[in-house]
Every structure is written in C-alpha cells, then in structure tokens.
Amino acid sequence: MAQKKRIKFKKPRIPKIPGIRRAEKRLKNDVPGTLTYTGNKEQKDINIEIIEYGPQQHRVSASKTINEALKTSKEGEVVTWINVNGLSQIDQIEKLGAHFKLHPLILEDIVDTNQRPKIDEYPEYLFVVFKMLYFDSQGVFTTEHISLVLCKGHVITFQESDGDVFDSLRQRIANAKGRIRNAGSDYLMFAIMDAVVDHYFIMTEAMSDRIETLEDQLFLSHTENDITQEIQELKREVLRIRKAVYPFREVVSRIEKLDNTLIDERTDTYLRDLHDHVAQVAESVEIYREMTWGLMDMYMTTISNRMNEVMKVLTIVSSIFIPLTFMAGIYGMNFDNIPELHYDNGYYYLLGAMVIVFLVLLWYFKRKKWL
Amino acid sequence: MAQKKRIKFKKPRIPKIPGIRRAEKRLKNDVPGTLTYTGNKEQKDINIEIIEYGPQQHRVSASKTINEALKTSKEGEVVTWINVNGLSQIDQIEKLGAHFKLHPLILEDIVDTNQRPKIDEYPEYLFVVFKMLYFDSQGVFTTEHISLVLCKGHVITFQESDGDVFDSLRQRIANAKGRIRNAGSDYLMFAIMDAVVDHYFIMTEAMSDRIETLEDQLFLSHTENDITQEIQELKREVLRIRKAVYPFREVVSRIEKLDNTLIDERTDTYLRDLHDHVAQVAESVEIYREMTWGLMDMYMTTISNRMNEVMKVLTIVSSIFIPLTFMAGIYGMNFDNIPELHYDNGYYYLLGAMVIVFLVLLWYFKRKKWL
Amino acid sequence: MAQKKRIKFKKPRIPKIPGIRRAEKRLKNDVPGTLTYTGNKEQKDINIEIIEYGPQQHRVSASKTINEALKTSKEGEVVTWINVNGLSQIDQIEKLGAHFKLHPLILEDIVDTNQRPKIDEYPEYLFVVFKMLYFDSQGVFTTEHISLVLCKGHVITFQESDGDVFDSLRQRIANAKGRIRNAGSDYLMFAIMDAVVDHYFIMTEAMSDRIETLEDQLFLSHTENDITQEIQELKREVLRIRKAVYPFREVVSRIEKLDNTLIDERTDTYLRDLHDHVAQVAESVEIYREMTWGLMDMYMTTISNRMNEVMKVLTIVSSIFIPLTFMAGIYGMNFDNIPELHYDNGYYYLLGAMVIVFLVLLWYFKRKKWL
Amino acid sequence: MAQKKRIKFKKPRIPKIPGIRRAEKRLKNDVPGTLTYTGNKEQKDINIEIIEYGPQQHRVSASKTINEALKTSKEGEVVTWINVNGLSQIDQIEKLGAHFKLHPLILEDIVDTNQRPKIDEYPEYLFVVFKMLYFDSQGVFTTEHISLVLCKGHVITFQESDGDVFDSLRQRIANAKGRIRNAGSDYLMFAIMDAVVDHYFIMTEAMSDRIETLEDQLFLSHTENDITQEIQELKREVLRIRKAVYPFREVVSRIEKLDNTLIDERTDTYLRDLHDHVAQVAESVEIYREMTWGLMDMYMTTISNRMNEVMKVLTIVSSIFIPLTFMAGIYGMNFDNIPELHYDNGYYYLLGAMVIVFLVLLWYFKRKKWL
Amino acid sequence: MAQKKRIKFKKPRIPKIPGIRRAEKRLKNDVPGTLTYTGNKEQKDINIEIIEYGPQQHRVSASKTINEALKTSKEGEVVTWINVNGLSQIDQIEKLGAHFKLHPLILEDIVDTNQRPKIDEYPEYLFVVFKMLYFDSQGVFTTEHISLVLCKGHVITFQESDGDVFDSLRQRIANAKGRIRNAGSDYLMFAIMDAVVDHYFIMTEAMSDRIETLEDQLFLSHTENDITQEIQELKREVLRIRKAVYPFREVVSRIEKLDNTLIDERTDTYLRDLHDHVAQVAESVEIYREMTWGLMDMYMTTISNRMNEVMKVLTIVSSIFIPLTFMAGIYGMNFDNIPELHYDNGYYYLLGAMVIVFLVLLWYFKRKKWL
C-alpha cells in the first residue's frame, strides 16, 4: 500500500494552466478534435487490461495493442471492463475510438489531461472525466486524469499510466465479493468512482497531517524557519484538490439525476451514497482551506511576538546600562573642581547608587512583566 | 446534569477527515454496503433500551442482544422506541437491520460516524442522520453520531455509547407530560431531534463563554501568553459545531417539506418550530464565527500596542541619557586646553545644563503624550 | 422623546445565545409548547391597553388582568388593538391565548424573547414576531421582543415591558390623522411595523455617530487609548442590529406576497413601501458593517504609524549622539602620545568637527524627511 | 462643462442613514403618505420647465408655480416633459400630484431624497426613482435624488435643485438630432436615464484618478502623510456610488422585462443597451472597490518598509559606533598599569584597529544589502 | 509566434473606465446610436480581408474600402468571412452596416471598445462582442475589442487593428484541414471564438510565470526591492483578464442554449467544448487571483521577518557592548580612591571579566537561537 511508504509532496510550482500545452500545439495549425496528449506521463507502451465477468465467469486478459485487445474481448452475458493505461500513443486511442464509435471531441478530452471533471451524455454512451488523487509507488502525491465511457455491458477507462487505485476493486471482482458480479456495467462505473473517492479521503488526511505539522512548528518548536513558503505551497495543494473535487461533486450530482436507460434504478441508491461522500470530502477541503489561510495570520502574530521578545531584551539592557554609563561618565570628567571625587568613599557611594538604580529598574521591568 | 460539572474542552487536533478510517478499511477489499464502525467509542456491549407507550400504557425494558430485544418488543396500539447504544458490535446491528428490512447502505451509514447529517426517504421508512453535541459525564465536550429510523409505530435510534441528552424526554414519556403519549411515532422523532437541538444551545453558550474569556484576557489582564493557539482551537470548535448544525438545518427543512404518510400534519407545526430553532443556532454559530475570526485581528493590534509601549520606554531612556552621556564625554576629554574645566563652578554649571536638557526632553515626551 | 436624552450604549457582553435559557429550563422536564419567559425584563404586573376605533369612534381603556380586558373589549364595526405589556405573567398570556384560540406554539414564541423574527400563517390569524430597537426612558439602547397577532378586526401585540415606540401612532389614531381611522386591522398591523422600522433608522443613525466618533479619535485627537475593545463592541452592536433587521426584511417580504383575506389589497402598496424601508435599513447596516470592520485595519495602520514616529525619534537621537560620543571618547583616552591633545586649539577644532558632523546628520535626516 | 473646473470632493462624513430625517419628523405625529423633504438642498422657489415636442414642433416654457405650468402645458400629438426643480415646496408637489392623480406614497418618495432607486408600476403610469451623480457648477461631487413619472405622452421629472445633466439632451430635442423627436415619451424616459448613466462614467473616472493619485503618493513621492483617512474617505465614496448604481441596475433590468403598453417595443433595444452600460459601471465600481480595499494593505506594507528603513539606519549606526566607543572607553580607563598606553604609537595602532573594525562592519552590512 | 519574443507587460495604469470617452463625447450633443471609436489604436486605413471558401473552393482577397470589398464578395454555396481591421474610419463601418442592414446600436457597440462581452440575437443575425488577449508583434500584452456578426453564409468580424490570433485558422481553411471547409458559417464563428480562447490559455500561462517570478523574488533572492507595486499591477492584470473572461463565459453559455436556425446542431457539441475551455480559463484566473492576493500577505511576513533580522543584529550588538562600555566607564572615573586602579594586574582582571561577560552574552543569544 502506498501509504506505508514515506509520503512526499512534490515540490509544487504554480500549476501550469490546463490546456496551455494543447493551446500551444494547436497554434501550430491543429484542428479542434485533434488528439494531443498534454500530460507529463509519457509511456512507451499502452497497456490494456480487460476484465470480463458475470455472475458465474471471470476472465482477465492483457494486451499491448488495441487490435489484440478487441479480439480478446467477447461480448455476451458479461460485463467487460477495458482499462487502458497510457495516453501518449494517440493512434491506439483513435483505433479504440473508431471501434466504439466515440465522438472525436471525446477522444480529444480523453488525452487532454487538463480537461476538468465533466459528464457528457451521448445517445449510446455516457462519458465521464474525473481526477484520481493518490500516492504513487514512490509515495509521491500524484494527480492523474481518468476518463470513463459507459455503454451497455461495457466500461472503458483511460488512465495516464500504470498504477491506480483499483486493486481492491479487482479483488472484489475476482473473489465475487459483494453485489458486483451480479450487477451491470453501471454498478461497475459506480464502483470505479467510489474507489477514486475513497482515495480522496486519504489525500485529505495527508493534508490534515501537514497542517498539524505546520501548527506544531509554529507553536511548539518555535522554529526560526520561514514557513511562509510552506504555507503558500499548502495553499496550492488545497486549491489543487479543490479543483479536482468540486467539479466532480457536480458530476456525481448530475449522474444521480440522469434519466438514462444505461443506469439501473437499483444503482441510484449507491450513487446517492457516493454523492454524500464527495460532498463530505468537499466540506473537509473547505475546512482545511480556512485552516490553511488562517495559518498565515497565525504566523504573522508569531513573528510579531518574537519581535516583541527581541525588543524587550534590547530595551531592558539599554534602559539599565545607558543611565549607569552616564553616571560613570559624570565622574570621568576632568573638571578641576568636582568635590565628590575627593570623598574618601566617593567611589563606593557611587557604586551603591548604581546598584540602587539597577535594582529599581529591574523591579520596574519586573512589574511591567517584561522579565 | 452535565453542565454542573466543570466544562472541559478536549484538546482538539485537526479533526481527522470523516471517512478516512472507513476508506482505509475498505481499501483492504471491502465492498460498499459493508459495515465498519469508524468512531472511537468502542463499547464491549450493545445496550438496547425499549420504551413502549400509548395513551394508557408505558413500559421500559432493556436487553443486551438484538434477539432478546425483539422478543420483548410487542407491536400494538403503542409507539415503540428502540434505542440502541453502542455501534461497535456490527453483527448485532446487522441482525436488527435484517429484522426491520433496512437497506445495507443505511446500516453502513448507521455505523459510519463520519456520515454527515442527511435524510433518506425509503418506501417504508425515513432514515435521518444527525450529530449530538453534549458534555459527557466527565464534562468533556463530545460529538456523537446518531441515526434514526422512523417507521409506522416505531422509532429506532442508534447511538455510539451510553449517555445521551434524552433524559428529560424519557421522563416526559414516563409522566405523560405534554402531547407525547397521545401522539404517534412521528412526534417522537420530533421530540428526539428537539432534545438534540436544545443541547446545541448549551454548546453555543459554552462557546460564547470561551470567546468572552479570551477577550477579557486580551483587554483586561493583558496577559503575555500567546493566545494564538487558543484562538486557532476555538476556530476549530466553531467549524466543528457548524459542520454539525448547518447540514442538520437542511435536513429539518427537508423533513418539514416532506409529503410522507409517516408524518402526521399536526406534527408539521412542531417541525416548523424545530426548524426555527436550528436556524437560530446556525445564526449564532455564524456570529461566533465572526467574533472568533475577529479575535485574531484584535490580538494582532494588542501585540503591536505592546511593542509600541516597549519602544517608547527604549526611546525615552535612550533619548535622554545618550545626549547627557555625550555632554559628560566632552568634559572627560584630555585636551590640554579646555578652559571650562578650570572654571570654579564649571562642574556645577554643567550639571545645571544637564538638568535643563533632561527637563526639556521630559517636557517634549510629555507633550508627545509618550509619558 | 428618547433621543433628546444622552444616548448610552449598555456595555455589551457577548449576547447570550437565544434559547439557552429556555433550553436549560426545558431540560428540567418541560414540554414543547410550554411557556417560559426568557427575557430579562421581569415585570410584576401585566398592563393591557385596549384601543378601539372606527371612522367615528375612538376609545382607550387599560386594565391589569386579561379577564378585565376582555370584558372591556367590545367587538363591532371597529378595529380593536389589544396591547399587552409584560410577558412574565405566564398565566395571563395563557388566558388570552385560550380566549383567542391561539396555538400553544404561538404562545411559547410570544414569551420566548429569543425567537427570531418570523411570520406564521394560521387559518384564522397571522402571527408575526419582530424586534423593537429603541432608546428607553434612560436613553439606554434596548432590544425588545414584540409579537403581533392579526385577526379580523383585531390586532394583539405583546411587549416585554411598558414603554414603546408607538406614541405617535396612538396620537394619529386619537386625532384621526391620515387613513388609519378608515382602514382595517391590516393597516393597523402595517402602522405598528412601520413605527418599529422608523426607529431602526434612529438606531442606525446612532451607530453612524459612534463610527464617526471613533474615526475622529483615530485621526484627529490621536488618542493613545486602546480602541480595539470599543471597535469589538461596535462590531457586536452591528451584528445585533443585523440580526433584528435581516430576518425582518424577509418577514415583510413574505407578508407582501401573502395571499390572505386578512390583508386588504389597498394595504399592499403600504407594505411594499415598508419593505423598501427595511431594505434601506439593511443596506445601511451592511455599509456600517464594512466601515466598522475597516476601522480595525485603520487602527492597525495608526499604531504602526505611531511606532514609526517613535522609532524615528530614537534613530535620530542615537544616530547623532552615538558618533559624537565616540569622538569625545577618542580624546578621553589616556595614551601618552596623542598629539592632538596638546594643540592649543585642539579642543575647539574638535568641537567644530562635532558641529559639522551634527549638521551633516541633521541635513541627512531632513533630506530623508524624517524631521 | 463641470469637468473643466477643478474637481473637489466634499469632505465626506459618514452618510446620514437615509430616512433618518423623515423618521424623526414622522415621530412628531406624521402619517405614512405625508410629504417631508429630507434633502439638504432647500430652494425657495420651485422652477418648472416644460418642454413639448413632436416631429414638427418644439416649445420650451418655464414657470414658478404648478398652476401656471399646468396652464401652459397643452396636450396633443406631442410629448411633454415637465421637469420640476426644487422639492422643498411641498404644497406645489401636492398640487401636481393631485392634477396627475399620483398615489400619496409616490409623492412621499418624490420628496424623500433617501429613497433608494426603485420602480413601481401603477395602472396609469410608471414611477422610477434613481440618483444623479455629477459635479455641480462649483465642481463639487453631488448626489441628487431624481424621480420620474412616465405616463402616455408625458414624462414628469423631479429634481432637488436647478442644475442637472440633461443639457445635451435638451439640445438634441431642440435640434431634432437623432430619433428623439419622432419617438414617444418612453424614449424620452430612456434618454433621461441614459444621460444619468453617462455621468456615472464621469464619476467612476474621477474615482479612478483618485486611486491613481493615492497609489502614486504611496509609491513615488513616498510622502510621510497619513493617507489612512483619505483611503477611508475613498471607501465611502465607492460605497456611495455603489449604493446608487447597484439598485439602479436592477431597476433598468426590471424596466427591460416589463410588459407594459407604455413602453414601445422599439425602445426595448435601447433599454437593453442602457442595461449593458449600467452593468459596465457596476463592474467598474466593483473593480475600484477591490483596488481601494487593496490600498490599505499596500499602505500597511509601505509603513512597514519605512520602519525597516529607519531600523536599518539605527542598527548600522549603533552597531558601528557602540563597539568603537567601547574600544575608546577601554583606553580611557585610569588603571595604573595599562602598558598599551605607554607605547609610542599606541594611539595610532588603536586608530588603525578602529578603522579595520569600521571597515569590517561596513563590509558586513554591505553584504547583507542593508547599505 | 509572439511568445518567442520577450514578453513585456505594458506599465498598467488604472484602466480608464470603459465608456468614459464615449460618455465625454456624447456629452457634446451626441445621440445614442452615434458611432464613436473609443479605443487607442487609431489606424489611418481600414483593411478588409475577405475569405470565401466551400468544400471545393477557397479565395482570399483584400481591399481598402468597404465598397470595393462588397464588390469582391460573391455569395454562393460558400461561406464568406469578412474581417474588418481598423475601427477608426467610422464612415466605412457605417457603409458596411447599411449594406448588411445592421441596427445602429450594433454599429455603436462595434466601435465602442469598452463594450463588455455580450451576445444579442436579432431576427436575421447574431451579434457577439468579446475581447482578444494576445502579445502583439512587439510582445506587448494587448487587449483588443472584437465584434462578430453571424448571418446565413456570412461571418463579419471587426478588429481594432491588423494583427490577430487567427493565423492558424486561416491556414486550416487554406489547407482544408479538419471539418471547416465542409461546415457552415456557424462553425466558422465557433472556430474564431475557439482561437481566441486558446490565446486566453497563453495569457494565463504568462500570468502564472509572473506570479512564480514574484514568489521566487520573495523567497529566494530576498531582494530588498519594494514589490508592492508589482503585486498591485499583477492584481490589475488579473482583474483585467477576469473582466474579459467572465462575461465571455456567460456569452458562450448563452450561445450554447440558443435555439436559432443559424446554428446547426452538429456545431452544438463544439460549442459545449468551447464552454468547457472558457470555464477552465475562468477557474484558473480565480486561482491566480487567490495566489496574487496571497502574495501581499506573504510579502508582509517577509518584511516582518527582515525587520526581525535587523532588530536582532541591533539587540545583540547593543546588549553586548553597552554593558562592556559601562564597565570601562567605571574605571575611567577620576575618584581619588578607586583601589582596583592600583592593582598591578587590575587592567588584566577587568579585561578577563569583560571576556567572560562577552562569552556569557554570546551563549545567551546562541541559546535563544538569535545567532
């Protein structure tokens, strides 16, 4: 499991604006509907995993090309889940699109990793885009673009790279745990989205831990480090998760209300439940947002408190020794006629006076509670 | 009564994101609809309390297992309130669910303490989730997850642990005070939610007291303590209460508008009243939120004012004694020819000049109102 | 008139959360629908004022008990305004409720001073709750809970104590000024609410004066007083007025849209006008809110400016005299061989050098505009 | 043209809450529907200007009383614009109201300068209230209350004082420029409102200039003046303009959607255009609002930067000369046995050491970029 | 390509309020519907580019006058795109308007560069206004006003100056790439708007780069420069882009929902896609807005941290040397009887004591982590 490894957050830069890469490519004479992979997870191969199952059967196969994969897949009384890993092989995606008669704009959105979560309803299928947030095998926080096409008896998912959050789902299918083997492709769609949302919870927990850590740094260890930068990064993380979660909440809400024959009404209850969960994540993200923004104010007061501390030391030392130095200065003068200088115990009287001044000032600062 | 004890606020940490525990457990191959208790109030036993009443009769019984409890319960012209305390015994909950034919997702929500307040309408029953806020027997501030199932003649409530806010309700039923013995199960549902909301008022009062205390600390005792942390904790408390109250307001509003045969129209007036109360709590929470956020700004100005104070002491002392020391320094020089040194009263003239400088500076700072 | 006296604002504490007292009392086994007076204006007596009027007649009577009052009241071609002062005599309120067949929840709301403004429509009557803001006979800012029941030919109002804002209305009825003697009870309801709203204007003016005073304190007299506390109090006042005004705006808006035979359509124009006025007050409150919140920022810059001032004095004095003292220190050294010491005019040369240094620094600080 | 004169902003005080004056007057026994002029532009006379025009004719007349004016006005195939200047002569307004059968509440709103922008639809006429913002003949920023009554063939406008923004409109009518002479009274209403909105643009430009000036003061001249007060005043201006513009946008939007025979459908296109313009002003006001609020933060950083500057001077001077003074102090001591004092070149060695310390510290501060 | 040149941002001033110039001009007796070019890109000539294409043909022509252009244009089975560059030649625009029977208000909006993005539906054509954001041939950030008229078989676009973002679109038409040659004028409209939105992505990327640069300046190089001004400018840029993007999102959304025969339903999918893209840009702008506003807070903490740094140096130096100087001062006094002065090693004892004090203070500041 990813969370057993040490969780690292990639040094985040300002997230490149989604679509900028495609925008730049298209400026070089491309046409709307042209496929351009805009992510940064280039994979040499495309890995296609096909899981077919029904109440009685269960078959898993894998292939490296679409053609091979489509041969493998046999339609029948079963649900077929075609899981495509790797979006950089544009031609393979196009072949699959042609086979399933997907609209060119859908194919464009599948490979455009900057596409925000959305749902499009077509006569023959539903097309859903969302984001998978997870810690990859190195424990690095990763956002991955997922698209899902739901047709009668089929679910096709497209991911940027191998490695995902569906392992437990695969095992449930394999072991025939729960309803899934007896349910249709719509329930599979729900199960996939549900697995994604479960990982949103993991993400928000990681965020909560980071906020706690920063607060502890602020209050307990009183580190001198400038944590402004870390807070700013945290803000970006929150905005990034929010950007994945908020539109997805709308997507789930729209699926819930869809009146589409592809979705069995028994699945509705599960979708409602899913909507509850996404709403819960969204609420938490909002709370973390408030906490993160509040951190800045807290940091500000911490800095000010520290400056107060510094000022007090300066003031106490100066206020005590400057007057004393003045007193010493008086009797360092070379006037011919300074009678005190010739007192036998003049020196000791002065030292005594200095001690008294010292004590009075000490008492004064004590009373002011500066000491 | 809880509020007679000393009220303590548990040291709050960033609230773990709801669902994280279930998310983690489900990652270990669980299925949606699987029951996982996600709270932290593990109880060995399940305590089931059954209260049956009608206009004439009233019978209370208790048992440790669902089977026993269901034997006890006799349906008739009475309203039966089955109050289940303890959610960690999953199998018991499942038995009860099977007996009352509750949907698996409902059972899941009953034991998922992170479920946000909601209402689901099923053909045979209503399912409501909300949060109970109270000071437990040790006077510690506690959030407890409550679920309620309303069917014809039955109300089943599920709590995480023994100890709740329904004592006065039990006595009203026992003593046949008010309408309750003559009303149906819908009125019992109202009475339960009403008792919960009454405790929300207690919570907000406690919050108001804490804000007042912090303000007094800021303005009156001028403590040097860093109260940033306390303010941050208070913010979390407010967000936590808000998270319980706001969705509950929506829930009550939806119940009010429900066109369901389970709810008698005479109960509608009471539900509207309940809605008023929740709205009132929500408004108060919003006001406390503004006050709490404002505390941070106030603290900031307090720090700055204190720094001003410190700076003034430094400035006054330095501005007075540095020039005087300079004057003394002049006549401490060893030039062969400094005529003033040989004046008979040179020393006294200088002391006089110093006193004058001293007084002028004092007057200057007085005029500037720094003294 | 109240506003001729010196206006005082009661030292405001965090407003106790509405309902807390009732919540506490009900926890002692009370039932919804039980009457509990939750205000702090306990009055020994209940004073009932009855004003009956029609186009031709006008009769005012007063009594100390409901029974007596109901005897007095004669229904006819007239409008009867029963104005009840004093809510702490629960039994009297109950008698009145029984006579007019008011729902127990209405009676509960009448004596619950924490009830937020609302309107309930019942088959036979309308029930409106709102808040009266005024300066009482001692010139203290007071919020008072008012309820109003409108039935055919009757308006019953309930106030917490004697003393209200309806004097001019009473005189208009007495002197048959304006439409009122020819209009029905719905117009009387309008006139009562209109009088309340007119006093909202007085309140907001008082608030505006306080903001101005604080700004003047900040900018003109540059007082050293910590006005954080005063600003915080002002914030609370604004939130308090807002809490009275905002829900009342909704109430008036709902009355306007009501399709109820109790309200004559000729009164609609007046209600629309009233709605305009409440909206105007709400807008003003919003502006004062922004101004009040802005005061905190202004205060912060004022503090910082003052600190700058202090720092400059320190810096100028130190930067001038520390180098000069150093120069004097040089020639206070006891080296055997310091040739300058033996120059005839060495002392004067040094003094000259010091004057030059002094003037250069002065010019430097002048150029920097610190002087 | 006003904008050629030097534009002055009246020293703004907290705007008196609208309605307060009327509220106070009504408290002296007035009745809703009673006319009370609440502005501060008392005029001895009422000046009535009547412009009648049609495709062929155009006649302008003026009079001092309503009676005279109504005699002058001849209804025919023409559009008549009755422009009433001066609202303090209540009786004149009432006569006009009686002549045109205006509802008493309309007359009240005409003279109540605090009435917020609104539109009321009456069977025979439309009543619109809005605000005219302009620089008067002295170049002072002025808000003036305008009401407009549109009936078949008539437009009656009410202004507080002579002097308005309609000069170019009058000339267009006189010179038969554009559509106006061939259009009806609805187009005249549009043209009047359009002229008012055009002046809103002038206002926002003036505001933009003031913001620029303040920014320049902050960044370029680095004045030491406290501009907090000016920023606060600017905030008030923005809020004041916003208060005029925002409700007016709603008013125009409602007129646009009105299904009223008084408004020809050819005028609809113009009204849509007007709505666009008001929306544009509203957007600009919102931007200026953000900029103005941002000024406060900028000012705060400017103050802090300046304090940093001051602190650095202090620190550099102190850090250099305090150690040097200490060194001089060492050799000013009177110990019998300080061998260095008797070195031939001891004095020069020490001066050398001081120069080295001086240079090292200088280099240190240079490296820290404080110099 | 513009982005290969060095990108410069024009020194932004407060954007002149849109419409102010027209407002001023109209004040000089103009009529609504009068054409006034309000931009600052005066061009001597008007350059008209005509592109006619169909599945088989493709013809490009250019002319300097409308008359000439209209002669050139031959209507047939083709789509004609008339692209007018230069809006300052009012009479030419008017001729074109007359030829295509455009409403005067449309012509006014075409030349009013301050018109906000909008869509107007007329019986014979659609009129859309939007803003083109691009880096011009000098690499300067430019906002340009574009209007588009869509009629059957025609698209007319109006730009302020030569140079635009449509080069790739022209090539697609020339090379018959994609659907465009087989689609109607509605698809051309989509393609034009799509090219504009693609450049919005370029703009937001540039913004993202600027924010990163500022953050780096804050955190890494710790420049002493006052970046307040730069942040303020960035704020304005964000507000400026937002002003172009937000209304355009509404415009696209309205076009999407339009039920107009001019728009083929096959184009709907593309419009939906366009709407997605604009929404994406809007989301990004919102994120950059939050980041930009946050920069100010970050800068504030950076300043405070620096001041802390400065204060610490001052405090350490002063706290160490002021007491030492005092010690030296003691033994610089001229009392007759100071026994220590006559100790043989008195001087060395004192030096030793000074070293100890020095080390203790050093250790103290080390422990406080100020060193």
Q: Is the domain of D98 the same as that of D226?
A: yes
Tell whether C331 is within 8 A of chain B (Cβ): yes
For the stretch D101-121, what's the b/e string if a residue is b when 16 or more beta carbons lie within 10 angstroms of its beta carbon?
A: ebbbbbbbbbbbbbbbbbbbe
Residue C58, beta-bridge partner list: C53
**A351 φ, ψ (degrees, to nearest 5):** -55, -40
Tell whether B225 is within 8 A of chain A (Cβ): no
Q: Using the 3D structure, point to which of D279, D300, D321 is the last residue of a domain.
A: D300
Q: What is the DSSP string of D33-55?
A: T-----SS---SS-EEEEEEE-S
| Total count of residues recorded for chain A | 371
Q: Is the domain of B253 the same as that of B114?
A: yes
pLDDT at residue C8, rounded to an integer: 43
Neighbours of chain E (3+ CB pairs under 8 A): A, D
Q: CATH no. for residue D348?
A: 1.20.58.340
Lowest mean pLDDT among C57-61, C221-225, C293-297, E34-38: C221-225
Tell whether D286 is within 8 A of chain E (Cβ): no
B199/C23 CB distance under 8 A? yes
Going from the C-alpha of E46 to that of each of B192, E36, E67, E159, the distances in angstroms are 77, 15, 12, 10
- The complex scores an ipTM of 0.74
Each residue's pLDDT tens digit, C113-165: 878 899 988 888 999 999 998 877 776 778 889 999 999 888 999 998 887 88
For the stretch B35-68, what's the b/e string if a residue is b when 16 or more beta carbons lie within 10 angstroms of its beta carbon?
A: bebbbebebeebbbbbbbbeeeeeeeeebeebee
Q: Is the domain of B333 the same as that of B190?
A: no
Q: Is the domain of A130 the same as that of A259?
A: yes
The CA distance from D74 to D79, in Å, is 10
Q: Is the domain of B65 the same as that of B199?
A: yes
Q: Using the 3D structure, point to which of C266, C300, C334 is the last residue of a domain.
A: C300
Q: Is the domain of E18 the same as that of E45?
A: yes
Quote the pTM value: 0.80
Q: Is the domain of C31 the same as that of C178?
A: yes
| Tens-level pLDDT at each residue, chain B (371 residues) | 333 344 444 443 333 443 445 455 545 545 666 777 777 777 777 888 999 898 888 888 888 877 777 765 555 668 999 999 988 888 888 888 888 888 888 888 898 887 889 998 888 899 999 999 887 777 677 888 999 999 988 899 999 888 788 888 898 888 888 788 888 899 999 999 999 998 888 888 788 888 888 887 777 655 556 677 788 888 888 888 888 898 999 899 999 888 888 888 888 888 988 998 898 889 888 888 888 888 888 888 888 888 888 999 999 999 999 999 999 999 999 999 899 999 999 999 999 999 999 999 999 999 888 87
Helix (H, G, I), strand (E, B) or coil at B105: helix
Distance from CA of E130 to the nearest CA of D (A): 14
Chain B neighbors of C310, CB-CB under 8 A: 308, 311-312, 315, 370
Cα diameter, chain C: 121
Could you list the residue range(s) of the whole structural domain that residue C357 is in? 309-367
AA identity, residue B219: F
Q: Is the domain of E75 the same as that of E220?
A: yes
Chain B neighbors of A302, CB-CB under 8 A: 226, 228
Whether pLDDT at C31 is above 50:
yes
Q: Which of D11, D13, D16, D17 to mutate to test the interface with C (most CBs of C within 10 A)?
A: D17
In terms of DSSP H, where are the helices of chain E? 20-27, 66-72, 90-100, 104-111, 167-175, 185-219, 228-257, 265-330, 346-367
pLDDT band at C12 (very low <50, low <70, confident <90, very high): very low
Tell whether E212 is within 8 A of chain A (Cβ): yes
Tell whether E220 is within 8 A of chain D (Cβ): no
Distance from CA of C60 to the nearest CA of B (A): 35
Q: Is the domain of A68 the same as that of A116?
A: yes
Task: Among A18, A28, A306, select the one facing E308 at the smallest CB separation.
Answer: A306
Q: Which of A245, A301, A370 to mutate to test the interface with B (most CBs of B within 10 A)?
A: A301
Cβ neighbourhood burial of A59 (10 Å; 0-12, 13-18, 19+): middle
**B260 φ, ψ (degrees, to nearest 5):** -130, 135
**E369 φ, ψ (degrees, to nearest 5):** 65, 30
Each residue's pLDDT tens digit, D25-38: 545 545 666 777 77
The CA distance from D102 to D137, in Å, is 32
Helix A346-367 to helix A265-330 angle, to the nearest 10 degrees? 160
Q: Is the domain of A216 the same as that of A247?
A: yes
Chain D neighbors of C333, CB-CB under 8 A: 328, 331-332, 341, 347, 350
Sign of CA dihedral B145, B149, B154, B156: negative
Q: Is the domain of E85 the same as that of E191?
A: yes
pLDDT at residue D287, rounded to an integer: 85
Three-state helix/strand/coil letters over E64-99: CCHHHHHHHCCCCCCEEEEEEECCCCHHHHHHHHHH
Q: Which residue of B has its CA nearest to C354?
A: B330
Tell whether D219 is within 8 A of chain E (Cβ): yes
Question: Which residues of chain A, if any, have pLDDT below 50?
Answer: 1-20, 22, 26, 29
Tell whether E14 is within 8 A of chain A (Cβ): no
pLDDT at residue B16, rounded to an integer: 41
Chain B neighbors of C300, CB-CB under 8 A: 297, 300-301, 304
**Whose CA is closest to D21, among E304, C201, C178?**
C201
Strands A154-159 and A79-85: parallel
Q: Which residue of A has its CA nearest to E193?
A: A32
Tell whether A172 is within 8 A of chain B (Cβ): yes
Q: Angle at the Cα of D209 (from D208 to D214), degrees rounded to 5?
A: 100
Residue C62 CA, chain-centre distance (Å), reads 32
Pair of tokens at residue C279: 């909206």
Distance from CA of B211 to the nearest CA of C (A): 8
Going from the C-alpha of C344 to that of each of B339, C336, C350, E5, the distances in angstroms are 11, 17, 12, 72
Distance from CA of C1 to the nearest CA of D (A): 9
Tell whether E359 is within 8 A of chain D (Cβ): no
Q: Using the 3D structure, point to which of D300, D322, D356 is the last residue of a domain.
A: D300
Q: Which of E280, E286, E309, E360 to mutate to test the interface with A (most CBs of A within 10 A)?
A: E280
Strands D154-159 and D79-85: parallel
**Whose CA is closest to C65, among C35, C107, C95?**
C95
Higher-confidence position of C284 and A371 = C284
Tell whether C249 is within 8 A of chain D (Cβ): no
Residue C83 CA, chain-centre distance (Å), reads 25
The CA distance from E278 to E254, in Å, is 13
pLDDT band at E72 (very low <50, low <70, confident <90, very high): low
The CA distance from D149 to D83, in Å, is 10
Residues 6+ apart with CB under 8 A from B16: A205, A208
Chain C neighbors of B253, CB-CB under 8 A: none
Distance from CA of C184 to the nearest CA of D (A): 15
Whether pLDDT at E1 is above 80:
no
Tell whether C168 is within 8 A of chain D (Cβ): yes
Strands E47-53 and D141-151: unpaired
Q: Is C167 left (phi over 0), alpha (psi -120 to 50) or beta?
A: alpha
Q: Is the domain of D156 the same as that of D236?
A: yes
Pair of tokens at residue B293: 């956020």
The CA distance from B196 to B130, in Å, is 9
Tell whether E292 is within 8 A of chain A (Cβ): no
**Whose CA is closest to C128, among C29, C8, C36, C251?**
C251
The CA distance from D328 to E175, in Å, is 87
Q: CATH no. for residue A76?
A: 3.30.460.20
The CA distance from D45 to C4, in Å, is 33
Whether pLDDT at D6 is above 80:
no
Total count of domains within chain B: 2
